[in-house]
A and B are shown apart, each in its own frame.
Chain A
Amino acid sequence: MTFRMKLIVGMGAVLSFVGGAALATGPVPPPPKAAAQGAEVKKHALPVSKDGNLVVGLCDGETSMEVKGVKAGQSLTRAQAQHVSGALMEEWLRKNPNAHWDSAPKVAQAPSASGTVRPGGVTPESGGSQVKKQIATPIQDGHTYGAFSDRDEAIWAASTEQFVDEGHRVFHDAKAIGGTVGISCDMCHPDASNTHPETYPKYQVQLGRVALLRDMINWCIENPVRGRPLADGDPRMRAMEAYIYAKRKGVKLEYGKK
Chain B
Amino acid sequence: MGNKFRSIETKHHAERDAFFDDLKKLDRRAFLRVAGISAGIAAGMGLRTPHSFQLVNVAEAQGTKPRFSFAYISDTHLYEKKLNDRFVRAILKAVDDVNGLDPQPDFVLFGGDLAQLGKPGELKLGAEILKAVKAPVRMMVGEHDWFLDMGELWTDLFGPPNYSFDHKGVHFVVLNSILEKDFWTERKLTPEERMQIVAGLDNGIQSRFEVGAPQREWLRQDLAKVNKATPIIVFSHSPLYKYYRPWNFWTDDADEVQALFKPFQTVTVIHGHTHQLLSNRIGNMSFHGMLSTAWPWPYAPEGLPRLTVQMNRADPFSQFDGCGDGRMDVLESGMVDKLYNLWERNPITVRASYLASGGKQDVPPRTRLPSY
Contact = CB atoms under 8 A, between A and B. Distances in A.
B61 interface: no
A194 interface: yes
A194 B313 contact: yes
B202 A183 contact: no
A256 interface: no
Nearest to A193: B298
B18 interface: no
Nearest to B275: A188
> Helix, strand, loop or mixed for chain B's interface?
loop
A205 interface: yes
A186 B197 CA distance: 12
A206 interface: yes
Bin the interface of chain B by size: 20 to 34
Nearest to B202: A190
Contacts of B295: 187-188
A191 interface: yes
A205 B8 contact: yes
Interface string B1-31: 0000101110000000000000000000000
A191 B202 contact: yes
Contacts of B315: 206
A206 B297 contact: no
B297 A188 contact: yes
Contacts of B316: 188, 219-220, 224
B148 to A, nearest CB: 15
B40 interface: no
B247 interface: yes
A186 B201 contact: yes
B317 A182 contact: no
A64 B123 CA distance: 59
A194 B317 CA distance: 14
A189 interface: yes
A191 B247 CA distance: 9
Contacts of A220: 316
Interface in A219-258: 219-220, 223-224, 257
A183 B84 contact: yes
A220 B314 CA distance: 14
A194 B116 contact: no
Contacts of A187: 201, 295
B365 interface: no
Contacts of B83: 181-182
| Top 9 A-B residue pairs of the complex, sorted by shortest distance between their CB atoms | A194-B298, A196-B372, A190-B202, A181-B84, A190-B201, A206-B317, A208-B5, A193-B298, A191-B202
12 contacts: A172-B203, A181-B79, A181-B83, A182-B83, A182-B84, A183-B84, A183-B86, A188-B295, A190-B200, A196-B372, A206-B9, A220-B316
Given A183-B86, A193-B301, 11 more contacts: A181-B86, A182-B84, A187-B295, A188-B296, A189-B298, A191-B247, A194-B371, A199-B372, A206-B8, A219-B316, A224-B316
